[in-house]
Structure 1
Amino acid sequence: MPVTDFADCPIVELRRYQLRPQGFDELQRVFQGWLVDGQEQAGMRLGGQFRDRRSPDRFVWFRGFASMTRRQEALEAFYFGPAWRAHRDAANATMLDSDDVLLLRPTEPPHSPRPPAGAGGTGPTDSDPWAVVHVWSKVVDEAEALLCGGGHKILEQALGAPVAMWRTEPAENTFPRLPVQPGRHIVALTVFEDETQWRSATDRLRDDPGWRDVVERLDQAGVVTGIDLLQPTAASRHPRPVSRRRSG
């Protein structure tokens, strides 16, 4: 069944590219000019698109699919199609590494992203959103249950913002031309209205006793935590951040 929005996609990729120095703007020119529409027309749904605030030559983005079968069909249609053939050399010339990719599905229970920024007639804002991606690797059953259950609730309450979350899709990668990373992972995405809101949330999370307990249990289970601090691109379809004016 087709999906019309990234938030509804049961299959998701988190793609993290290391680019050549000063390659980010050139890739965005090609990506936004030609490759976004090409992927959407092939059946994919793009989500948030970001620049790493601490490593400006790094591009982080999400895309989704209606199923594993539709993923294979969409990737074949795009990568063997005219848009990619016309612009692949320019895109590939900006990249050092494009193989840091996680193949994901919704958690149980699901924690879907909010509607994208600018959706529903809200229009753009003057704020500079800050996005945070947590990636927990070497996840075991107990850690997945903790993060997707009580840990998710603690995380949202401490941050004061919705947290979208996905887990590893265990199905075989049926498009091996684009490799995905092995192992079990949990990925969370949180978007803040601006730097001030993010810093306040980070302070609350650091001081939250419930979250400290979660971190200790994850450490004991051997889970490895990574955090990406991101800036949405102009065309990003990241979840709409919660406004402090609306949330009080």
Structure 2
Amino acid sequence: MTVITEGKSMAHSEGASTNAIVELRRYRLRPQARETLIDLFDREFIETQEAEGMSVIGQFRDLDDPDSFVWLRGFSDMPSRAEALNAFYTGPVWAAHRDQANGTMINSENVLLLRPAAPDTGFAPSRTTRAQPGTADGRAGIVVATCCYLAPRTDEAFATFFETRVKPQLVQASATVLAALVTEQSPNTFPRLPVREGETVFVWFSAFPSLAAYEDHLAALAQSENWTTEVVAEMERRTWRKNEVLRLTPTARSLLP
């Protein structure tokens, strides 16, 4: 687990951040600590991070892992990422709450640093109004992140394959494809927060109105001969290990789905 120590805060220039750089952050938590972290995160760490120029795209419970907290954070570019992270992690809010946050975690270093696979495949700016702090959970939507592990320097070809062969099948089976991202290979501009390096990962995010709708989506794909006999076989040829699928449900204040 990485613990950031207190330091002097750095001001960030005003202006809305975009999501040209995205962190997919997956935290391994201590048993029964997830709700404590979610309560703290949704109350203290959303507006305060966005005030430094980054965007909190969404935060989630992993349906298949009760000790995992997953969230997405966006930046306009790598230099501004370093500036925004330095401002937040040396500022008063993190100093006040870091011990409680870090106390919930076993490990916080499972982080993919990503960028849009093509100019129009990133997360669009949210038009949703964020719920107020203290809002009760009760949303039925689900976000599914599919991680495809690629050989080096094959990401552009896989992005084309996804757009031309995979995405049309997903949409036909009633998925809403939110974004398609690939590993950002430039050096980590804030090394005090490690990211996974030496990998090439393509991740697509899909949204569904409910878990039942997602299961219907899977059933529709299974009934598609093109999907089962051609698309899946081609995807397996292009990846070196089985795709990793995260079924994520939003916290009360998440902007996704």
State the TM-score, normalizing by the size of structure 1.
Answer: 0.85
Q: CA shift at 1:106, angstroms?
A: 0.8
Name the CA distance, whole Å, in 2 between partners of 1:102 and 1:3. 25
Of the three residues 233, 244, 255, the one matched with 1:226 is 244
Q: How far apart in 2 are the matches of 1:33 and 1:67?
A: 26
Amino acid at match of 2:256: H
Q: Residue 14 of structure 1 corresponds to which residue in structure 2?
A: 24
Q: After the TM superposition, which residues 13-52 of structure 1 pair with which residues of structure 2 at under 5 Å, given as runs? A: 13-52=23-62
Name the structure 1 match of 2:231.
214
Distance 1:204 1:127 in 2: 24
TM-score (norm 2): 0.83
For 1:152, the equivalent position in structure 2 comes to 167
The runs of 5 or more residues in structure 1 that have no matched partner are 240-248
Equivalent in the alignment of 2:6: none
Unmatched 5+ residue regions in structure 2?
Answer: 1-12, 131-135
Range moving further from structure 2, 65-74 or 163-172:
163-172
Q: Is the 8 A contact 2:109 2:195 kept in 1?
A: yes
1:198 Cα offset (Å): 1.3
Q: How does 1:1-248 map to 2 (within 5 A)?
A: 4=16, 8-108=18-118, 110-113=120-123, 116=126, 118-119=128-129, 128-139=140-151, 140-141=154-155, 142-182=157-197, 183-212=199-228, 213-224=230-241, 225-239=243-257
1:117-173 per-residue CA deviation (whole Å, 9 max, x = no partner) reads: 7449xxx99751122111111342433331244322222222442342111111111
Structure 1 counterpart of 2:3: none
- Name whichever of 140-149 and 192-201 sits farther off: 140-149
The count of aligned residue pairs is: 235
After superposition, the Cα gap between the structure-2 partners of 1:21 and 1:129, relative to the gap in structure 1 and judged at 3 Å, is: same
Aligned counterparts of 2:221 and 2:246: Cα–Cα separation in 1: 16
Residues 185/205 of structure 1: CA separation in 2 closer, same or farther (3 Å cut):
same
Considering fraction of residues, name the structure with more helix. Answer: 1
% identical aligned pairs: 37
Give how far 1:104 is off.
0.7
How far apart are residue 189 of structure 1 and its match? 1.2
CA contact (8 A) 1:108 1:148 kept: no
What residue identity is the alignment partner of 1:60?
A: V
SS class of match (1:150)? helix
Separation (CA, whole Å) in 2 of partners of 1:82 and 1:185:
35
Structure 1 residues 226 and 192, CA gap change in structure 2 (3 angstroms): same
Deviations 1:63-119 (A, max 9, x none): 100111110000100111111111111000000111111111111252234564744
Q: 1:87 to 1:160 in 2, by over 3 A?
A: closer
**Contact 2:150–2:201 (Cα < 8 Å) also in 1:** yes
Secondary structure of the residue that 2:51 maps to in structure 1? helix
Q: Report if aligned partners of 2:21, 2:75 keep a CA contact under 8 Å in 1.
A: yes
